[in-house]
Amino acid sequence: MAERPYIVGNWKMNGTRAMLSEARAIDRAAQRYMKVEVAVAPPYTLIHAVHKEAEQIGVGAQDCHSGPEGAHTGDINASMVADAGAKFVILGHSERRQDHGETNELINAKIESALEAGLRVILCCGETLETRDAGGAETFVLDQLKSSLGAFQDPAERLTIAYEPIWAIGTGRTATTEDIAAMHTAIRKLLDETFGEEASSMVRILYGGSVKPENATEILNTPEVGGALVGGASLSAESFLGIVVGASETEEA
Ligand code: 13P
């Protein structure tokens, strides 16, 4: 594993100010697990408040617009989330691809603007069950990554990949550790070929999809798994911290 295991909570469209107490609890507890890098991506409306609470954990956004300020009602761009306190942005999540028709080309433009605004990027990829059953998961995911990354050449600590099979998101169903290891190894090979081994080694590959305290240690001990992107189980400090504890018990932590 390149660095400390990275455990990121994606709160999705959940959270009002009442959730700040969870963020505070996560932050305070994370100080006991310094071998694990912990972060949360609350909705836009809470980024600044969580940032102000956070002493230890990283705070990020779940998306951003690809362009500069301008006439785009309802949109928020990379420099605006950075100004609110975000240090990273999740891009290309399957829910954005599905709900908002986001293409690899658009995601590539978002990556560029996020990096320009000084943000780190967590780039998501993942296949549908139909694609997996048809035997095309690996080709699909690698194509998704190649197109989303475009000509991006320099990952130096700025890039994280999250492999999230769509059929494992919010379903309670996780991929087998064999499937996860196979996909993560294929992604690593692509990163090695694209960036060279040294730069690739700085890019962590997270797994996401129904990660919870009960399965975290096994998943996080899988080869090439550098952490987890957690949805549902990140909404309470108790379950999210259970995953952080699991990460602190991995061999690399
Ligand atoms: P769940 O952990 O709820 O399956 O969500 C995973 C996810 O989509 C994180 O981005």
pLDDT one-digit tens code per residue, 81-103: 999 999 999 999 999 999 999 99
Query: Residue 23 is part of a domain; what is its CATH number?
Result: 3.20.20.70
Instruction: Point out the ligand 1 atom lying closest to the alpha carbon of residue 93.
Output: 10
Average pLDDT of the residues in 37-48: 98
> Is-above-0.95 flag for pTM?
yes
- pLDDT reading at 110 higher than 60: yes
Answer yes or no: is 222 within a domain.
yes
pLDDT for residue 106 is more than 50: yes
Average pLDDT over residues 189-197: 94
Q: Residue 191 belongs to what domain range?
A: 6-248
Q: Is the pLDDT at 40 greater than 50, yes or no? A: yes
Q: Is 23 left (phi over 0), alpha (psi -120 to 50) or beta?
A: alpha
The residue to mutate among 63, 93, 164, 173, having the most atoms of ligand 1 within 8 angstroms of its beta carbon, is 164
Phi, psi dihedral angles at 21 (to 5 degrees): -70, -30
Atom of ligand 1 nearest to the CA of 171: 4
Average pLDDT over residues 26-33: 96
Asked, for residue 197, whether it belongs to a domain, the answer is yes
List beta partners, residue 6.
37, 227
For residue 65, indicate whether it is catalytic: no
**Which residue shows structure tokens 């009960």?**
214
1 within a domain of the structure (yes/no): no
Could you tell me if residue 95 is inside a domain? yes
Whole-angstrom CA distances from 137 to 130, 143, 180, 183, 233 are 9, 10, 11, 8, 25
Q: How far from chain centre, in Å, is Cα 194?
A: 20
169 Cβ below 6 A of ligand 1 = yes
Nearest to 28 by CA among 15, 38, 18: 38
Which residue, 1, 5, 2, 4, is CA-closest to 243? 5
Asked about 138 being catalytic, the answer comes back as no
In a domain, 253, yes or no: no
The atom number, within ligand 1, closest to the CA of 229 reads 9
Residues 43, 46, 48, 51, CA torsion sign: negative
Q: How many domains does the chain have?
A: 1
Judge whether 219 lies within some domain. Answer: yes
**pLDDT at position 1:** 42
Residue with CA closest to ligand 1 atom 5 = 231
Residue 171 within a domain: yes
